[in-house]
Structure formats: C-alpha cells, structure tokens
Structure 1
Amino acid sequence: MAYDRAFGDWVRDHLKDLGAIEIKPMFGAAGVKFGGAMFAILDDGEIWLKADEALAAGLEAEGARQFNYATKAGEVMVMAYWSLPETAVDDADEAVAWARKSVEVALRPKPKRR
C-alpha cells in the first residue's frame, strides 16, 4: 500500500465536479471523504470506490477489480471497494458519476448491531 500526494492532487482535480473532498493519509494509503463519509481509498496510483452489491455489480461489469490485500499471516483480505473503471480514469465526467454512486453508498446509515 502506498499513497502519493501528487496522485491525491490529480484525484482532487479529476473529481472536482463532485465537490469538496478530503484526503487523509492512513496506513500507507489514503481515505477520501465527501460529506464526512469515506467513499474511496487511494492506493498505489488507483482510486478504489466503496460499493454495495448493486454498485459492485456495475463496476465489475465495466472491468473493475475488487480491493484485496495480504495480511502478515498470508491471508487475503477482501474489502467492499472496487477500482475505478479504466474508461473513467481518462474521463472526469464518468469518474464523477461513479464517485457520486459511491458517495451514496458511503452516506447510507449503517444497520444497527445488536
């Protein structure tokens, strides 16, 4: 996992039509927030969008990959984040459309635990 500030600057510019985003370095990567909710991770030069089942299906259909990493114990952990489709890397309007869907997922109230 690695976060490059220059990449963060590019992401701010690429998603500027979304509105003000906040990028905070964390665990070697960075979290991206909108409206106080984390909707993306920046890692190794990629944007990973938070997704529910429906959004994940749409992202996967566009060739996106699910975020995963290996633990020190050798386990592969899978998270509910998907790569930004390649076509959206070169198209800011498309990237913002995907980001808006991800923000909607991130802003949903979490189910209460018992």
Structure 2
Amino acid sequence: MDNERIEELFEGLGPVTIRRLFGGKGIYHRGVIVAIVLRGELMLKGDDETGPEYEAAGGSRWTYVGKRHGKTVAMPYWTVPDGALDDPDEMTFWARKAYEAGVRSEK
C-alpha cells in the first residue's frame, strides 16, 4: 500500500505521518500511532474496548507464533472491517476508533 493511498484513507481523520516500522509502515495522527501496514495489509490500532467492535464488524486481530516458546502472541492491531476501505465515511469512523485506542494506550 503506497503512502498516497494511506493518506487518502485517513483523510477524514486528518493529516497523518508515515514512518518505517516492523519492516512495514507506522501511521501516526497527532503523534499517536493509529495503524500499521505489514506485508501490504492495513491494520488499525485497537484495545480491549475496540477489539470486540472490530471483530463484530469483520476485522481480525494480528497474531503470530513466537519463535522462542511457540506460543501465539496477540498484537494490538486489527484488520480493517469489511467495506471500510471502499467507504470514506466508514473508514473515518474506524480511524477515529484507532486514534482513541492509541491515545488510551499512551496513558
């Protein structure tokens, strides 16, 4: 996903900055991380409050199997809910949720 597309998707939230992160990209709004792009997939920041909302809307949590102990590790990022990538208003709704989760995680 190129930077122009990322900026377009988050336009309803406001300006974002994009930095390299985890071999992918970190997307920040007002200095708060709101999303990442990893292996070409956009994932939104979430937490205990927003995770169930992402899942109810068709999003799934990023997990991976740790190399040292073979245990599944859950990261605080969810795939974008169905349809949001094609609907600016819906994307803005989820981007705001991601920003709120990012703000909460910094406290």
Pair in the same fold by TM > 0.5: yes
Amino acid at match of 2:29: F
Q: Which residue of 2 aligns with 1:107?
A: 103
Amino acid at match of 1:84: V
Equivalent-residue separation in structure 1 for 2:17 and 2:44 (angstroms): 14
Does the Cα contact within 8 Å between 2:28 and 2:34 map onto a contact in 1?
Answer: yes
Q: Which residue of 2 aligns with 1:33?
A: 28
**Unmatched segments (≥5 aa) in structure 2:** none
Q: TM-score, normalised by structure 2?
A: 0.86
Moved over 4 A (4+): none
**Unmatched segments (≥5 aa) in structure 1:** none
SS in 2 for 1:9: helix
Alignment of 1:57-68 (within 5 A): 57-68=52-63
Equivalent-residue separation in structure 2 for 1:95 and 1:45 (angstroms): 17
**Identity of aligned pairs, percent?**
33
How many residue pairs end up in the alignment?
Answer: 106
Equivalent-residue separation in structure 1 for 2:92 and 2:44 (angstroms): 11
SS in 1 for 2:74: strand
Q: Which residue of 1 aligns with 2:6?
A: 11
Equivalent-residue separation in structure 2 for 1:54 and 1:109 (angstroms): 11
In the alignment, is residue 49 of structure 1 matched against residue 44 of structure 2?
Answer: yes
Instruction: Tell me the C-alpha RMSD between the 2 structures.
Output: 1.7
Higher helix share: 1
Equivalent-residue separation in structure 2 for 1:54 and 1:72 (angstroms): 29
